[in-house]
Amino acid sequence: MPRNLRLCRPVTSPLVFNPGPRPDAAIVAWSNHRIPLKPSLHWLARAISSSAFCGPRQGRTPQSYSSLLGRCAETRCLLDVRKVQTHLVKTAFFPTLLGHKLIDAYLKCGCVGDARDVFDEMPERHVVTWNSMIASYIKRRRSGEAVELYERMMREGVFPDEYTFSSVFKAFSDLGLVAGGHRAHGLAVVLGLEVSNVFVGSALVDMYAKFGKMRDAQLVVDRVTEQDVVLLTALIVGYVQHGEDFKAQEVFLDMIRKGIKPNEFTLASTLIGCANSADLKSGKLIHACIVKTGFDYATASQTSLLTMYSKCGMVDDSFKVFNDLANPNLVTWTSLIVGLVQNGREEIALLKFREMLRNSVNPNSFTLSSILRACSKLAMLETGKQIHAVLTKYGLVRNGFAGAALIDLYGKCGTAEMARSVFDQLIDIDMVSMNTMIYSYAVNGLGQEALELYSRMKDLGLEQNQVTFVAVLLACSNAGLVEEGQQIFSYLRDSRETELRRDHYACMVDLLGRSGRLEEAEMLVTQIKNPDLVVWRALLSACRVHGDVKMAERAMKKVLELAPGDEGTHVLLSNLYASTCNWSQLIEMKSTMREMKLKKNPAMSWVEVDREVHTFMAGDLSHLGSKEILDMLEELIEKVRNLGYVPDTRYVLQDLDEEKKETSLYYHSEKLALAFALSRTKNKTSSVRILKNLRVCGDCHSWMKYVSVAVGREIVARDSKRYHHIKDGLCSCRDYW
């Protein structure tokens, strides 16, 4: 509000305008109607010039001004409100009621500053006026000013009512002021509003839920005499947000028993609890309730249904829910995409993302982060770069959540330097982005870089957590940094702040085992109180690498005690028998697997060419480009043989003659994928990126090193464990894998 229009207390003469200079010429001319007015202000001019406003005070009533201000508030015209205020100040006629009306008009015009100026100048303020100002601050996320005003209200002896408490409890929760919230709760009890007023109870439950004090929230609900859907929904939301999904369902069932009809948000919140606990049966019952109550087209309930079915692995059902939506919005599109990525349907997620963009729905950081995870799982670097460009366009590239997803993408696509570039651009480095960057270094075999970042964490004010130690131990394992890994593991063992978990033991067993220290690895396993499948498999895998059949059989026995039908263990040991030419044991193992109806996952590889992902299976030549693949294979075989490549038939897990073993090696899935990529890529200097679902075999690893020399191109291969950057006949793993 202009300084010369500030409101003052009435003075002796009602015609004196004090303080400040006279209104400018435009205002004087307006008040005397000597200048043309805009059409929108004609009604205001006529109202002020009417008989009701003529003379010094004659005919003027608060009702007249109140009606005029009400009209201004309806039209949301700030200029009109200021014109009326000018006339009010000029006539020094300003009862408390008109002050509230003027504040209300300013607030409806979005001018909380002007409203506060009027509020501060009012000689008397009703509790309704206090409530209006407090609520307006909270609405604009200015909770600090709301609390300040509430405390001033107490000092001036104005008792709060139910509307005050329902607003100010939200401010306390926004600011995390637990002590202030407790004091306000105590005052509500003294004034008799906690038990009798459901609005106050709902606000209290919401506040305590945000404080994480669910016991206090439950006590408030138990004390409210007349419970309603809002109160109980607030309690359900609190339980779901704090992972107490079973209690949320109990509250929902109790609500139904009491005859309280749930609303859209009650059903949506309860469904989220079912999704978190993967309780499909309860989720389906609530779905039926949604249909029965007519909320089957409401956005909140439909979005929660999508999430519930996705988290329960029922992707087709989530599609049915989505297809029933008339106009899916950003939230429902994002829920569908997230569910598809979580259930391994990354290709479909990318198709749906493109469809979303064609429907003119702009993505947010959560949508883009989810689609980046799809790209990272498929190692689709070029598509990921396009999403990176979209993030840059929307100004989200420095967002912590999106930034961590970008780091994960580039790390899992074998470009750790690009991951570090994104990491260095982040405004606020948090634990998620830090752990993701360390893990990116780990899977790319950059152990020293991971250790350097790990050592910098305390300088950045970040405390290492369980995920950090798993990532850095994995980095040591992939880079063969045995001593460094042992030092970190010893620190963990001696630390009182961090508890050693099975993941840490598994990483250490893998590190010792792969470095050939099998006895130490087995001894470490025996020191674990109850070693699980992951730890024993790590030891079994190390035995497979070094050909220790006896230790592998001991490890297998332990695994099968825990999980008799574990197919991965049978496959590992059968591969070990095959690699050591123990054909009788291999036949017996395969017979056992047939009896148990266990199947080995087929080796598969993927490669992206011209933004399209192509899939290859070992020995499968059904690809449309099979002829050019075979032609390229023959050409590559001749080149690498001239360079000294000799097929390593130890990796043929079948009892065949030597010639057939060599032939079978050439049809491994990663060789087919590499031959196809080399035959199709136009840029003959770009890197070839291959993704495989299992570990790269030793022969393929050696073969790709020779191919990198023969064609003069870098080959980046990602297997189930790590990345291999192969260039000029050398691999980043230094043959330690």
CA distance 412 to 722: 9
Residues 6+ apart with CB under 8 A from 642: none
Task: Kindly report, residue by residue over 437-473, the tens digit of the pLDDT.
Answer: 999 999 898 999 999 999 988 788 888 888 999 999 9
Least confident of 350-364, 586-600, 693-707: 586-600
Residue 620 pLDDT level (bands cut at 50, 70, 90)? confident
CA distance 573 to 587: 12
Task: Kindly report, residue by residue over 526-541, the tens digit of the pLDDT.
Answer: 888 888 888 888 888 8
Q: Tell me, what's the pLDDT at 737? A: 59
Whether pLDDT at 52 is above 60:
no
* β-pair partners for 724: 717
Least confident of 56-70, 512-526, 543-557: 56-70
Whether pLDDT at 421 is above 80:
yes
Q: For residues 677-710, b (16+ Cβ closer than 10 Å) or e, as one string?
A: bbbbbeeeeebbbbbbebbbbebbbbbbbbbbbb
Q: At what angle do helices 416-425 and 400-412 cross, to 10 degrees?
A: 170
Whether pLDDT at 25 is above 50:
no
Strands 715-718 and 688-692: parallel
Q: Tell me, what's the pLDDT at 358? A: 92
Look-up: residue for tokens 């015609």?
15
Whether pLDDT at 43 is above 60:
no
Average pLDDT over residues 2-27: 34
CA distance 21 to 10: 17
Q: 320 or 5: which carries more pLDDT confidence?
A: 320
Task: Kindly report, residue by residue over 78-102, the tens digit of the pLDDT.
Answer: 676 777 766 666 665 555 557 777 7
Look-up: residue for tokens 């003959």?
684
Least confident of 32-41, 487-496, 625-634: 32-41
Q: Tell me, what's the pLDDT at 8? A: 35
CB 217 within 8 A of CB 208: yes
Q: Tell me, what's the pLDDT at 654? A: 59
Average pLDDT over residues 471-497: 88
* β-pair partners for 689: 716
Q: Tell me, what's the pLDDT at 355? A: 93
Residue 60 pLDDT level (bands cut at 50, 70, 90)? low
Nearest residue to 710 via CA among 697, 727, 722, 693? 727
Cross-sheet strand order for the sheet of 612-617: 612-617, 604-609, 688-692, 715-718, 723-727, 730-731
Q: Tell me, what's the pLDDT at 45? A: 45
Whether pLDDT at 544 is above 80:
no
How many CB atoms neighbour CB 113 within 10 A? 9
Residue 578 pLDDT level (bands cut at 50, 70, 90)? low
Residues 6+ apart with CB under 8 A from 257: none
Q: Tell me, what's the pLDDT at 557? A: 81
Q: Tell me, what's the pLDDT at 408? A: 93
Q: Tell me, what's the pLDDT at 64? A: 62
DSSP string across 87-126: HHHHHT---HHHHHHHHHHHHHTT-HHHHHHHHHH-SS--
Cα separations (Å) of 710 from 308, 351, 715, 728? 52, 37, 12, 9
255 burial via Cβ count (<10 Å: 0-12, 13-18, 19+): buried
DSSP 291: H
CB 181 within 8 A of CB 207: yes
The amino acid at residue 110 is G
Task: Kindly report, residue by residue over 696-717, the tens digit of the pLDDT.
Answer: 888 888 889 999 999 999 998 8
Whether pLDDT at 598 is above 70:
no
Max mean pLDDT range (385-399, 479-493, 537-551): 479-493
Q: 4 or 343: which carries more pLDDT confidence?
A: 343
User: Is residue 718 helix, strand or coil?
Assistant: strand
Residue 23 pLDDT level (bands cut at 50, 70, 90)? very low
CB 481 within 8 A of CB 447: yes
Task: Kindly report, residue by residue over 314-330, the tens digit of the pLDDT.
Answer: 999 998 889 888 888 89
461 burial via Cβ count (<10 Å: 0-12, 13-18, 19+): exposed
The amino acid at residue 637 is I
Whether pLDDT at 690 is above 50:
yes
Task: Kindly report, residue by residue over 223-270, the tens digit of the pLDDT.
Answer: 888 889 999 999 999 999 998 999 999 999 999 898 899 888 899 999
Q: At what angle do helices 162-175 and 127-139 cross, to 10 degrees?
A: 30
Asked, as a colleague might, if the bond just before 19 is cis with ω within 30 of 0, I would say yes
Q: Tell me, what's the pLDDT at 374? A: 92
Task: Kindly report, residue by residue over 545-576, the tens digit of the pLDDT.
Answer: 777 888 888 888 887 777 777 676 767 677 67
Least confident of 22-26, 638-642, 655-659: 22-26
Q: Tell me, what's the pLDDT at 37? A: 37
Whether pLDDT at 371 is above 70:
yes
Q: What is the mean pLDDT of the chain?
A: 81
First to last CA, the chain: 72
Whether pLDDT at 180 is above 80:
yes
CA distance 660 to 329: 57
Q: Tell me, what's the pLDDT at 606? A: 87
CA distance 395 to 251: 42
Average pLDDT over residues 286-295: 85
Q: 534 or 675: which carries more pLDDT confidence?
A: 675
Average pLDDT over residues 465-487: 90
Q: Tell me, what's the pLDDT at 478? A: 87
Percent of the chain predicted with pLDDT > 90: 26
The DSSP H or E segment spanning 608 is strand 604-609
Average pLDDT over residues 181-191: 90
DSSP string across 161-228: -HHHHHHHHHHHHHHT-HHHHHHHHHHHHHTT-TTT-HHHHHHHHHHHHHHT-HHHHHHHHHH-SS--
Q: Tell me, what's the pLDDT at 546? A: 79
